[in-house]
Amino acid sequence: MTNTVIDRPTDSEFIRTACMHVTDAMLAIEGSEPTPVTMVHLYDSQAFVLVPSGSTACALAWQAGSAGLPAMVEVTDMAPIALREQVRSLIWLNGTLHSVPSDLERDLACEIATDHPSPGLLDIGHGYSLLRLGLSSAVLANSSGAASVTSTDLAQANPDPFWEFEADWLAHMDAEHADMIAALSSRLPAELRDGRVRPLGIDRFGIRFRVEGSDNDSDVRLSFPRPVSDVAELSRAIRTLAGCPFRSSLPGQA
């Protein structure tokens, strides 16, 4: 019997995680200008998006009624630290757009906030409204290529357990732990060690780096021996990869 070793999140998990910390997203409807989106919340086979109440997208969704209308949400997954190229991945969510009754928005926002505490939810009724995208499919594109994900796979996936803390951890590592990054860099392929190594992402399976070379950038992953489940395990796994198991690597870790 062969055991399959999983050393990275699935494509559907990547999408789920990226949508939890959206900073740059647009809602596209054929024949109209794209509408900026300040929150994307995935629930089952649906995406709830937060858009300006006076936008064309809101008006078109209301006019479409229960039938809805074809639409796409483009999510640009941005690195939380200043890199030469900020984009980590691009995500396209395809489906049918529906309006959300105004008398249900507040209760729905409270329900969403229990899993996805986006500050934008406080703006509902104050210039922003929720729309619902019934998902048919999604596409993820990153440095590894492009992959299509079904709405069923998205419905069954969960975001990475460390999504809320990733940005702070990456910023802390980049600003305060040049020695740690240098130690981890020694584990990268030889041809990448001459570039500028920057932390790009952290998840329960490992840590990703963006190597900024003289001519191009390369993304590379260092995987943990096994997936981690809490902050203490994550900190130990990073320190072990770096060859310094007793040194603190994350904020608040002894």
CATH number at residue 130: 2.30.110.10
Asked if pLDDT for residue 252 goes beyond 90, the answer is: no
Q: Give me the residue label for tokens 């910390």.
A: 21
Q: Is residue 193 part of a domain?
A: yes
Q: What is the pLDDT of residue 230?
A: 94
Mean pLDDT of 214-236: 92
**Could you give the number of structural domains in the chain?**
2
Domain that residue 60 falls in: 11-156
Instruction: Note the pLDDT tens digit of each residue in 25-54.
Output: 999 999 999 999 999 999 999 999 999 999
Instruction: Note the pLDDT tens digit of each residue in 54-65.
Output: 999 999 999 999
Alpha-carbon distances of 53 from 50, 100, 119, 125, rounded to whole Å: 9, 11, 17, 8
Instruction: Note the pLDDT tens digit of each residue in 73-111.
Output: 999 999 999 999 999 999 999 999 999 999 999 999 999
SS3 of 229, please? coil
Q: Is residue 251 part of a domain?
A: no
Least-confidence region, from 26-40, 78-92, 132-146, 230-244: 230-244
Q: Is residue 60 part of a domain?
A: yes
Alpha-carbon distances of 95 from 86, 137, 148, rounded to whole Å: 27, 7, 14
Q: What is the pLDDT of residue 23?
A: 86
Q: Which of 129, 156, 183 is the last residue of a domain?
A: 156
Which position has the higher pLDDT, 250 or 144?
A: 144
